[in-house]
A = this chain, B = another copy of it.
Amino acid sequence: MIYAGIIGSTGYAGAEIARLLAGHKDVEIKWLVSKSFTGQAYEDIYRNFFEIIEKECTDIDLADMAKTVDIIFTATPQGYLQGKLTKEILDDCRIIDMSADYRIKDVSVYEKWYGMEHHSPELLSEAVYGLTEINRDKIKDTRLLANPGCFTTCSILTAYPLMKEHMIEKDSLVINALSGVSGAGRGAKVANLFCEVNESAKAYGVTTHRHTPEIEEQLGYAYGENVTLQFTPHLVPMHRGILATETAKLKGSYSYDEIKAVYDKYYSGEKFIRVLKKDMCPETRFVEGSNYVDVNFKTDERTGNIILMGALDNLEKGAASQAVQNFNVMFGFPEDEGLDMIPMVP
């Protein structure tokens, strides 16, 4: 039995990790940490867990917790973990971090986009970026896993095969992505009230969204050179879901079958990445509540562009279920253990 703690357990991502771990036969949740709700029953905050998870929220320190569990999931704001984490803690316990603290290798890029100092840059080198399908081998042995962001996972996996194979102009990517509201978290902000968000759509973080350098870095690794791209996120009125629409210049004239073959080369063995049938566009509802990413593409002879499309559930493959997938790899369980959720429609 693996013992686990969750820090930031009352946010949406933290609660989803709790839900998945509660259904994972090899894991026992030992700590549900929440500063704001310390001392309260977890089932009173998330009443879906009534009579299912019967624990109190606590406020135990990271270092103390590390001595009592095998794995800690940190679903905490940017800056929390990098301000606390030490090699000593990692000697005690492995960590899966949902924040961006160890995702970006270049500390100056992190500090520029996140506007804060990084307090443990010496740990960056051992952190592994947790896109399971891409970095599976390195994930196995890491003590510090940087779980990717939701926009990022979707944007990267959608474009990865074509970047890897140099089939698109590397700096031509225009990524427009749509997000459900749960990505904005559970903080009490006017901007996320039902009456502010429902029945409306908007772009936000235009030219400045923090997932930009993360996407560029990873696609740069795929391409083998630095990549610059345009990423524009949007908020739409739904709970869950990321939909990425990526437009790129094709480097040549490829048939459907040629491009499909490239997707299959990388993804045909991947259970959780589904390359849809010809002409089918991914829809977020068809992956909701699951670890799947649905991807597809369409070329346009008129413009010489290819349109790539990807859909995932931002709280699952975009956060919690990918974290559990990485956990499974790290601890030697079957990769899909506890992740057998079939998307729920409607």
Contacts and interface: CB of A to CB of B under 8 A. Distances in A.
B189 A188 contact: yes
B241 A288 contact: no
A15 B194 CA distance: 17
Nearest to A285: B200
Nearest to A233: B245
A57 interface: no
A97 interface: no
Interface in A278-334: 280-290, 294, 298-300, 302-303, 305, 307, 309, 311
Interface string A184-223: 0011111011111111111110110000000000000000
A247 B232 contact: yes
A120 interface: no
Nearest to A199: B238
Contacts of A203: 243, 245, 281-282, 307, 309
A6 interface: no
A46 interface: yes
B344 A48 contact: yes
A131 interface: no
Contacts of A15: 345
A311 B203 CA distance: 10
How many copies of this chain sit in the oligomeric assembly?
Answer: 4
A320 to B, nearest CB: 11
Contacts of A102: none
B309 A342 contact: no
B274 A51 contact: yes
A289 to B, nearest CB: 6
11 contacts: A19-B342, A44-B277, A47-B276, A48-B287, A48-B343, A50-B286, A51-B274, A182-B195, A188-B188, A199-B238, A199-B346
Given A48-B345, A186-B195, A200-B238, 11 more contacts: A48-B342, A181-B194, A186-B193, A196-B285, A199-B199, A200-B285, A201-B283, A202-B311, A203-B282, A207-B298, A232-B307
Q: State the 6 A-B residue pairs at the shortest beta-carbon distance, nearest first.
A: A200-B285, A48-B343, A195-B346, A176-B176, A202-B283, A207-B300
